[in-house]
């Protein structure tokens, strides 16, 4: 037996609905998170057996496609006609239904879930009548990666020359805002070029800044995700010094310390080697004397036996 089709019921809702105010809400979710599509009818002690709840995609372009997200009929879920891509991904809050909370939990949100959803609550006590409806716009946002800022390698005489900074970030959504800031006076700088590319549902950004070098350069690249209210930044700071950069000066004591340590180790190894050589020489000399003594003693003894009386 084929399951009943609710397509015609969804179309009749526009005819049978009462003069209810359509509430519109916006929900922002990160990719892969769970999103709650809000649908709250402020009325308690509702009898679920007299209610029908329809969650569907509100976009008219889906009329020829599957638009059923979740259905509750007389207190029982009936998702036989649910779109395949929503299978096992939707849940109602059963402890809240009698209090008028018909919100839907959508699991593991993906890019294809970005849409407008409609919640329709219908009372069937006497005849089918829409008592509440709401639209929820689900927007997706993805955090951008930490920006990587590359700047020039400064020379002592590069002041006044044009230098280039590059800033990159990616795997975010929606399109970002890119800001270049001179941290010396917190002034905004205009990028020379900003390229935003789209790849697998997310965006990558590459921005270039060209400015004249100064003796005290402090540049910041900022990537803003307005939807998530996130602002990630990377900084470049380098001061020109006549006696070398601060980093160079900091490295010199460390290098000297390492050099002294290496020299000490070499000295100890040299002394050990010298002592080892001396001990070997003394041992060989002692061994040579013992051999000579042993060789001579028998001959003297033999000579004493053979000598005439």
Note the pLDDT tens digit of each residue in 224-249: 999 999 999 999 987 554 444 444 43
Average pLDDT over residues 249-262: 54
199 contact partners, CB below 8 Å, separation of at least 6: 170
Using DSSP's 3-state secondary structure scheme, residue 116 falls into: strand
Higher-pLDDT residue of 74 and 285 is 74
Q: Are 44 and 99 in contact (CB under 8 A)?
A: yes
Q: Are 176 and 205 in contact (CB under 8 A)?
A: yes
Q: Are 177 and 191 in contact (CB under 8 A)?
A: no
Ranges 16-30, 42-56, 157-171, 265-279: which has the least confidence = 16-30
pLDDT digits (tens, 9 = 90+) for 98-110: 889 999 999 999 9
Euclidean distance between the first and final Cα of the chain, in Å?
141
Domain ranges of the chain: 7-140, 148-246
Q: How confident is the model at residue 136 (pLDDT cuts 50, 70, 90)?
A: very high
- Calpha distance 17→156 (Å, rounded): 77
Average pLDDT over residues 129-151: 94
Average pLDDT over residues 38-45: 86
Average confidence score pLDDT of the chain: 80
Q: 7-140 in CATH: which number?
A: 2.60.40.10
Domain 148-246 in the same topology as domain 7-140: yes
State the pairing for strand pair 193-199/51-57: unpaired
Q: Which CATH number fits domain 148-246: 3.40.50.720, 3.30.930.10, 2.60.40.10, 1.10.10.10?
A: 2.60.40.10
Ranges 27-36, 123-132, 133-142: which has the least confidence = 123-132
Q: How confident is the model at residue 46 (pLDDT cuts 50, 70, 90)?
A: confident
């Amino acid at each position: 037996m084929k399951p009943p089709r609710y397509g015609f019921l969804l179309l009749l809702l526009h005819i049978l609905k009462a003069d209810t105010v359509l509430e519109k809400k916006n929900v922002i979710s990160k990719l892969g998170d769970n999103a709650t599509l809000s649908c709250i009818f402020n009325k308690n002690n509702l009898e679920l057996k007299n209610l029908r709840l329809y969650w569907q995609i509100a976009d008219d372009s889906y009329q020829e496609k599957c638009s059923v997200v979740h259905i509750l009929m007389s207190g029982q879920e009936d998702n036989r006609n649910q779109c395949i891509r929503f299978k096992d991904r939707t849940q109602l809050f059963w402890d809240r239904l009698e209090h008028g909370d018909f919100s839907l939990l959508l699991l593991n949100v993906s890019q294809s879930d970005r849409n407008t959803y409609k919640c329709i609550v219908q009372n069937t006590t006497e005849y089918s009548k829409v008592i509440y409806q709401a639209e929820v716009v689900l927007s997706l946002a993805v955090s951008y990666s930490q920006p990587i800022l590359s700047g020039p390698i400064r020379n002592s005489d590069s002041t006044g020359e044009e230098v280039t900074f590059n800033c990159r970030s990616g795997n975010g959504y929606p399109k970002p805002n890119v800001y270049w800031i001179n941290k010396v006076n917190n002034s905004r700088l205009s990028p020379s070029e900003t390229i935003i590319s789209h790849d697998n549902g997310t965006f990558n950004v590459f921005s270039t800044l060209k400015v004249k070098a100064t003796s005290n350069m402090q540049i910041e690249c900022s990537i803003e995700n307005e939807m998530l209210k996130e602002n990630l930044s990377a900084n470049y700071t380098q001061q020109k010094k006549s006696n070398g950069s601060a980093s160079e000066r900091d490295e010199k004591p460390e290098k000297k310390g390492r050099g002294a340590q290496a020299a000490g180790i070499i000295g100890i190894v040299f002394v050990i080697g010298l002592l080892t050589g001396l001990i070997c020489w003394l041992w060989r000399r002692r061994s040579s004397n013992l051999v000579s003594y042993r060789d001579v003693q028998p001959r003297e003894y033999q000579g004493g036996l053979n000598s005439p009386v």
